Amino acid sequence: MFVKGSMPIRALKAGLLASSLIAALSSQPAHAKTLEGDLIERVSIAVDADAARLEAVFKDLHAHPELAFTETRTAAIVARELAALGYDVTTGIGGTGVVGVLRNGPGKTIWYRADMDANGVQEITGLPYAATTRQTLPDGSEQWAMHACGHDAHVTWLLGTARVMAQMKDAWSGTLVVYAQPAEEVGLGAQAMVKDGLLERGFPAPDVGFGSHTAPGPVGAVSNSPGVRMAGTDQLDIHFTGLGGHGSTPQMTIDPVVMAAQAVLSYQTIISRNLDPQSAAVLSVGAIEAGRDNNVIPQTATLKLNLRWFDSAVRDMMIRRIDEISRGVAISAGVPDEQLPTRTMKGSAVPLVNDAALVGVIDPALKQLLGETMVVNNFPAVTGSEDFQEVMVAADVPYVFLLIGVAPMEDFVAAVKAGRMAPYSNHNPDFFVDLKAIALGTKVNAVSVLSLLAM
């Protein structure tokens, strides 16, 4: 679900950051051989030995995307792989969620999460392992699906890290809990697992939470930054009810399509006229559902909205104004009181806030692995969102969440030279993960987990 922020200042900062990453790549020093370096070298050797298998797993997951709460095939792969590595595996949490527990003596308990679901997007990458078929949903409908946000890489990184941790039990002590979460894209998966007793089922209680996400930065670059990293989010539907009829006699109807169109335009004034210009928020309408036939004015129309925010007061204002605008449009169209628009709240998440101390804990290992200049500690917050933190907030534990570059360096360089922030963005039909990022991302996650366990 990661999406770059759209504000000019953030875009400028990101562009400058991108240019510095490019310059840094050509002047990387050799990694120093220290005790920590020796452990990192062991991780690298283990992952490199497993790289071909990890790429095969990734390609298979990419070719078989599954939408929110339908991740049965993916969950089965995760459960099977973890069980073979000696993890205690529990399935079916929150629908398709999988938890694996590896106990290895006294010490910290780290919870490491990967999300599994895909996007409702038709892939156009042309990759030999691209997703090429529609997914049949439980209600019988069909929908294009694509891993346009890198969750296939997240699952692969988790499985690769789980293997490294099982192979290197002599190098750490404590408990590792890895879990594969459904339905991040709709903002419901983390909450579903919590509601299904994730924190009450007897799993070892977390001391620290950890997660990571693909980003369209260059392979080899990682954002490990403290503080607010991602916006809070809400998914909501607005339902308009009018009076349907024949397209030739609109005077005999109350057209919900026209109401919906007026509302879409009016909603944009919430950001441009109601929000303090020094604050940040996004209001997007992702879908309009109404009617079917050319000559029929439908009875109803539904707008599917997405909000991004950093301040809960801004969130409350946006929802209040959405309600006021929706009602105002309907009243002006002549809708009776009993048919005024309704709002349905769906998935949501609070802003993601990295713990500064944990950022500092994993930073040295990341810089040894990648090079000092390839670990960015001051990347600006983005208006993309996550629900990873919902579990950690419910458990009341600190957490850290990384953004890992997955774009080919040559594509990234060309994009920056052309004045763009990145060669593509998450959720686009041409989004892809460079295969070089599969092994490297696994190393990043593994050394981060080892660092947290060694606190």
Q: How many CB atoms lie within 10 A of CB 336?
A: 11
Count Cβ atoms within 10 A of the Cβ of residue 432 and give its class: 0-12 exposed, 13-18 middle, 19 or more buried: buried
Distance from C-alpha of 340 to C-alpha of 242, rounded to nearest angstrom:
9
Q: Between the CA of residue 413 and those of 155, 216, 417, 429, what are the distances in Å?
A: 28, 12, 6, 21
Q: How many CB atoms lie within 10 A of CB 440?
A: 23
| Cα 287 to chain centroid, rounded | 20
Q: Which residues, in sequence order, are bridge partners of residue 144?
A: 134
Is-contact 402 97, C-beta < 8 A?
Answer: no
First to last CA, the chain: 30
What the block records as the tokens of 321 is 């104004």
The answer to whether residue 185 is catalytic is yes
Angle between helices 356-370 and 35-63 (to 10 degrees): 90
Is-contact 38 418, C-beta < 8 A?
Answer: no
Q: How many CB atoms lie within 10 A of CB 423?
A: 21
Which among 365, 373, 321 is positioned nearest to 343, based on CA atoms?
321
Distance from C-alpha of 242 to C-alpha of 335, rounded to nearest angstrom:
7
Among residues 71, 115, 117, 434, the one annotated as catalytic is: 115
Distance from C-alpha of 18 to C-alpha of 416, rounded to nearest angstrom:
7
Among residues 152, 185, 234, 363, the one annotated as catalytic is: 185
Q: Which residues are catalytic?
A: 115, 185
